[in-house]
């Protein structure tokens, strides 16, 4: 049995890891909530954003946190144009086509990244001072920053969705596409904006991840499976669900790893996934937007 202080440290580590999961999952759930499709290119686009952060640092010396607004804006524009130029155009209005297009995009993006960036692991070695010590827990500053920033960005996004005209239009389209169109909302534009915001969340996640993680052409996929689980746990399309689910999954993964070992520890995530599908298929906050 572990010392309670070690268990507390495990919980803290889980919460910090969950913070970034939240951002990845929020992007996924937003795209699902509005477009009603699972974005299979999510991992690949996260990887692209991570490379953007890496090259901004490598070539221009831009700190990942300083790069945050630039990468978020760039990711939004990229996502918006990707939807306008490729996904929306090729889908011909059919959701099942979008699934295939995002899957195809994922394959193309991964292989282009391999061709242009190579398969080598790229890291950013940035020092943000000594780790914070809380009892036996050493909390690396970048992980604390990423946790706080993730929650702040989610809260700001939630506020934007609740208060702004665009946010209201997005929510209207998510609830009743035809009705929104009759009310004069430019639905294809809202689709593209929603997709852009989803990818902007990945841009933010990339800036927060890179000081402690690495990027390769396949590294984004490591976060997608866990993001899918969070979206199902929290309720598809629910922001609050993604936030609570992300932190919960982070803690479950951490304690599972601590008590059962890294391999068996992942069972906790799968068990939650199965239980939620059996007992509450709409998720913890399904329907709440």
Radius of gyration from C-alpha coordinates of the chain: 19
Per CB under 8 A, 223 contacts another protein:
yes
Our CB check for another protein shows the closer of 1 and 279 to be 1
| Residues across the chain | 289
Per CB under 8 A, 63 contacts another protein:
yes
Our CB check for another protein shows the closer of 120 and 165 to be 120
Which stretch, 156-164, 189-197, 255-263, 267-275, contacts another protein (CB under 8 A)?
A: 255-263
Our CB check for another protein shows the closer of 117 and 188 to be 117
Our CA angle for 250, 163, 146, nearest 5°, is: 25
Task: Out of 92, 96, 120, 279, name the contact with another protein by CB under 8 A.
Answer: 120
Per CB under 8 A, 125 contacts another protein:
yes
Per CB under 8 A, 121 contacts another protein:
yes
Structural tokens at position 178? 């035809």
Q: Give the three-class secondary structure for 161.
A: helix
Burial code (b: 16+ CB inside 10 Å, e: under 16) for 82-96 equals bbbebbbeebeeeee
Residue 139 host element (H or E) = strand 137-139
- Least Cβ distance, residue 90 to another protein (angstroms): 25
Our CB check for another protein shows the closer of 237 and 257 to be 257
Query: Cα 268 from chain centroid?
Result: 20
Which stretch, 110-118, 167-175, 198-206, 270-278, contacts another protein (CB under 8 A)?
A: 110-118
Q: Give the three-class secondary structure for 148.
A: helix
Write out the DSSP string of 168-224.
HHHHHHHH-HHHHHHTT--HHHHHHHHHHHHHHHHHHHHHHHTTTSEE-TTTTHHHH
Which stretch, 68-76, 114-122, 149-157, 238-246, contacts another protein (CB under 8 A)?
A: 114-122
Structural tokens at position 8? 């507390």
Q: What pairs with residue 139 in β-bridges?
A: 132
Which stretch, 70-78, 125-133, 168-176, 231-239, contacts another protein (CB under 8 A)?
A: 125-133
Which stretch, 25-33, 75-83, 135-143, 267-275, contacts another protein (CB under 8 A)?
A: 135-143
Q: Give the three-class secondary structure for 133.
A: strand
Per CB under 8 A, 49 contacts another protein:
no
Whole-number Å distance between alpha carbons of 74 and 150: 18
Binding mask 143-182 for another protein (x = CB under 8 A): ----------------------------------------
- Contact of 237 with 152, CB cutoff 8 Å: no
Chain contacts with another protein (rule: CB under 8 A): 2-3, 6, 9-10, 13, 16-17, 57-58, 61, 63, 111, 114-121, 123, 125-127, 131, 136, 138, 140, 212-214, 216-219, 222-223, 226, 253-254, 257-258, 261-263, 265-266
């Amino acid at each position: 049995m572990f010392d309670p202080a070690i268990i507390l440290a495990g919980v803290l580590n889980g919460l910090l890891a969950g913070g970034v999961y939240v951002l990845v999952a929020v992007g996924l759930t937003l795209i699902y909530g509005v477009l009603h499709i699972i974005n299979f290119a999510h991992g690949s686009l996260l990887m692209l954003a991570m490379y953007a952060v890496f090259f901004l640092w490598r070539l221009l010396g831009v700190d990942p946190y300083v790069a945050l607004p630039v990468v978020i804006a760039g990711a939004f524009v990229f996502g918006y144009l990707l939807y306008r130029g490729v996904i929306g155009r090729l889908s011909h209005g059919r959701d099942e086509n979008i699934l295939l297009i995002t899957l195809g995009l994922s394959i193309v993006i991964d292989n282009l990244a391999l061709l242009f960036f190579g398969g080598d692991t790229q890291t950013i070695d940035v020092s943000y001072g000594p780790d914070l010590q809380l009892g036996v827990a050493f909390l690396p500053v970048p992980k604390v920053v990423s946790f706080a920033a993730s929650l702040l960005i989610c809260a700001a996004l939630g506020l934007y969705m609740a208060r702004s005209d665009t946010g209201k239009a997005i929510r209207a389209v998510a609830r009743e596409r035809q009705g929104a169109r009759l009310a004069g909302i430019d639905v294809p534009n809202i689709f593209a904006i929603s997709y852009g915001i989803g990818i902007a969340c990945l841009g933010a996640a990339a800036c927060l991840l890179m000081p402690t993680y690495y990027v390769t052409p396949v590294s984004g996929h490591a976060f997608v499976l866990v993001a899918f689980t969070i979206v199902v746990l929290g309720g598809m399309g629910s922001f609050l669900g993604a936030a609570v689910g992300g932190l919960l999954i982070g803690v479950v993964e951490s304690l599972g790893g601590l008590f059962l070992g890294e391999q068996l520890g992942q069972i906790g995530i799968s068990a939650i996934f199965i239980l939620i599908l059996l007992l509450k298929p709409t998720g913890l906050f399904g329907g709440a937007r």
